[in-house]
Amino acid sequence: MASSLLTTPSQTLAPTPAAARARGYSPGAAQVSFSSPRLPSRRALRVRASVAIEKEVPENEAPTTFLREDGSGAGSGSVRERFEGMIRRVQGEICAALEEADGSGKRFVEDVWSRPGGGGGISRVLQDGNVFEKAGVNVSVVYGVMPPDAYRAAKGAAKNGAADGHKAGPVPFFAAGISSVLHPKNPFAPTLHFNYRYFETDAPKGISASKFRNIIL
């Protein structure tokens, strides 16, 4: 599994190739810094991330589902399965509507990727049309294990450094969503962006499920 570890406070992240194509970025053009240059160095905001960033693996075609057949995924009728079905259906509907509105006869180009830790996504891009300079509509369905530090950051750390007063171990998570960025050719027309997401976690290892509440955003 190809991965990199973020350990330095000023570590920067460049967009993934698929995300860069969808958003119209050029390699190295847009990066996000984890430190704030506006504050004195002794008071600079520093974020240390100990999360392995998995590299996307290109795939030839989209699978029927990105979920595993584990009782809560494919074929289970679960919220996860229904949400994936909804965002993939909506992606197709939005792309069809945008192609019709553009009127150039051009079609969205699709890239499919998978994530070694679980899940994957579908990126679709239309560019150089009559109405849209570039339009991207992407879906992703990913899951795996969230490190304790990331879980505490999401929940808000208690005084003892643990979320909700518990010293949680690795936390199983699931996240899925659809997002879009539309860049019109008309310079007086605004760029449009939207996203719709679902996120949940299971009980952290070492904590009773009866004392844990799923996070759903």
Q: How far apart are CA 58 and CA 143, in angstroms?
A: 17
Q: From CA 119, how far away is CA 214, in angstroms rounded?
A: 20
CA dist 70 and 131 (Å) reads 44
Which helix (H) or strand (E) segment holds residue 91: the answer is helix 79-102
Active-site entry in 48, 185, 193, 213: 193
Residue 166 annotated as catalytic: no
| Tokens 């949680």 found at | 168
97: helix, strand or coil: helix
Closest Cα to residue 177, out of 161, 159, 193?
193
Residue with tokens 């599994």: 1
What does DSSP assign to residue 157?
B
What amino acid positions are annotated as catalytic residues? Answer: 193
